[in-house]
Amino acid sequence: MTLASIALNIAGGASVENEDGLTVANRLELANEFTEAVRILNLGYTNSEIVYARQLLNSVTHDTATIALAKSDFPVTLNQFPRLANVKVRLATSFGAISVEMLHQRAPYSTDNFLSYVDSGFYHNTLFHRVIPGFVIQGGGFNVAGVLKKTNAPIRNEAVNGLSNLRGTLALARLNDPNSATSQFFINLVDNKELDHSDSNPGYAVFGRVIDGMDVVDAIAGVETSTQGGFGDVPVEKVIIYSATRMDAGQ
């Protein structure tokens, strides 16, 4: 069941057909807010949880006071939903496997963005095209021929999430525009706290961490690099990401 369908389901489905239009609109608006909270908090849902939410939303009428009351009860209802385990992704590279864990609760938009590329197969046969020892390795944008791939629309910067660019964390790469991140990501080789958000720096959004294969990351960091096609820090020997796939639960 998609979040769009759960929103309609929570809003009451057939039970609201005989209600006035404003009541239906209010319930659907609140249902959309509720399902967005479910997504951001990385919660699971079944028909049982939908019943809890529908009971809450069906208390909403055309009276705006009922909307505020329903919103105040969101936390209690959300506590009825089971929390999902963090998604893990395996990067199969020409240097070995790297397993990473998504930090969805702290970086929901960045995580969803990365997983959309994972699920579409976008990262298959792409490169770690930028390697800077003592700093980062960066990939996810160029195919094995060195051609920049077409991406989805950029997302807003999510660097203000309490996560720091520490060794082994993944963050979204971007241009000078803070809200320009798409598919490219980097893995921090050391603690790079200067990349965190501050009053003078919009920062780079951390959204994951390496849980296995940091030795592979360090091996990639040791490759010889050169300037190619006007770009610096390009590995002389191609570092290929053969695939990026979700790992099974329990792995």
| CA separation, residue 6 to residues 32, 77, 224 (Å) | 9, 15, 51
Least reliable range by pLDDT among 38-47, 66-75, 131-140, 210-219:
38-47
CA neighbor of 218 nearest in space, from 124, 127, 134: 134
Give the mean pLDDT of 179-193. Answer: 98
Give the mean pLDDT of 169-197. Answer: 98
37 within 8 A of 56, measured Cβ to Cβ = no
What is the number of helices (H) and of strands (E) in the chain?
A: 7, 10
Q: Which CATH number fits domain 88-246: 3.30.70.260, 2.40.100.10, 3.20.20.10, 2.60.40.60?
A: 2.40.100.10
CA neighbor of 87 nearest in space, from 216, 208, 3: 208
**Amino acid 103: pLDDT:** 93
39 within 8 A of 75, measured Cβ to Cβ = no
pLDDT at 245 > cutoff 70 = yes
pLDDT at 4 > cutoff 60 = no
pLDDT at 193 > cutoff 60 = yes
pTM recorded for the entire structure: 0.77
pLDDT at 16 > cutoff 90 = no
Give the mean pLDDT of 175-202. Answer: 97
Give the mean pLDDT of 178-198. Answer: 98
- Length, in residues, of the chain: 251
**Amino acid 49: pLDDT:** 72
Q: Domain ranges in the chain? A: 3-78, 88-246
pLDDT in tens, 226-236: 999 889 999 99
pLDDT at 11 > cutoff 90 = no
Give the mean pLDDT of 192-211. Answer: 97
Average pLDDT of the chain, as a whole number: 88
Q: Give the relative orientation of helices 47-57 and 3-11 as an angle to the nearest 10 degrees.
A: 50
pLDDT at 83 > cutoff 50 = yes
* Burial of residue 120, with CB atoms counted within 10 A of its CB: 0-12 exposed, 13-18 middle, 19 or more buried: exposed
pLDDT in tens, 87-106: 999 999 999 999 999 998 88
**Amino acid 114: pLDDT:** 97
Give the mean pLDDT of 145-156. Answer: 96
**Amino acid 9: pLDDT:** 58
